[in-house]
Amino acid sequence: MRAIACGGWFRSIISAGQLNMKRPLKEVIPHVNLWRKGELVQPIDVPQHLYTEKFYLGDFGLSMKLGDLVIQKGYPPMPFCSPDRLHRQGPSFACDMWSYMVIFARLYFGYLPFPDQGQGEVSSMAKCLGPLPEQWKGLYTHSGALDSWYDQHQIPDPKYSLAAKI
């Protein structure tokens, strides 16, 4: 069984086979006029004996308390890392929300919203969402940054939009 990237506690539960990770059960949300049918997802059932006082979702081993002045070194796994962290921006609630969005998309849809596809996740993000902020050019933390990621004249490719993927 392959574990998704989450906190160490969750990984250990998955690898021990103590948690049944079938695709979540979904139920249509009634009486709401959405562009696409909304669905409720049944939460996973964690056995009572595995409960603890603290639970961290998707901390990737980089958790920090609010107000900490020392920033943890390292990055979340590439598919879950926000584009701003990959451009030398500090951690923020927006970074956390990005990672949660990717985790929940992976759990709900069964695939990552910004797959590598041979060109890297950032290329997939730019193709889907449009260019990254121009002021980030030259700040990419890894090798292989493309000028096209920051070209403000680029428009998202409708074939790769989030709506098309859903």
Length of the chain: 166
Q: What tokens appear for 48 in the block?
A: 């009572």
Same domain, 12 and 39: yes
Question: If you average pLDDT over residues 98-103, what whole number do you get?
Answer: 88
Using one digit for the tens of pLDDT, what is the confidence trace for 43-53?
566 778 877 77
Residue 115 lies in a domain: yes
Whether residue 114 is contained in a domain is answered as yes
Tell me the pTM: 0.60
Last residue of a domain, one of 11, 38, 64: 64
Residue 108 and residue 43 share a domain = no
Q: Are 116 and 128 in contact (CB under 8 A)?
A: no
- pLDDT for residue 15 is more than 60: no
**Does some domain include residue 44?**
yes
Whether 42 is covered by a domain: the verdict is: yes
Residues 104 and 160 both lie in one domain: yes
pLDDT tens digits along 54-96: 655 555 556 666 677 766 676 677 888 899 988 988 888 888 8
- Classify residue 29: in a domain, yes or no: yes
Residue 42 has pLDDT above 70, yes or no: no
- Residues 99 and 161 reside in one and the same domain: yes
Instruction: Report if residue 15 sits inside a domain.
Output: yes
**Number of domains the chain contains:** 2
For residue 112, tell me if it sits in a domain: yes
Same domain, 83 and 152: yes
- In the block, tokens 């996973």 appear at 44
- Phi and psi torsions of 40, nearest 5°: -95, 140
6 with 50, same domain: the answer is yes
Strand partners, 28: 39
Does 36 fall in a domain? yes
104 lies in the same domain as 143: yes
Q: What is the domain extent for residue 40? A: 1-64
- Regarding whether 10 and 58 lie in a shared domain, the answer is yes
> Mean of the per-residue pLDDT values for the chain?
75
Residues 9, 54 share a domain: yes
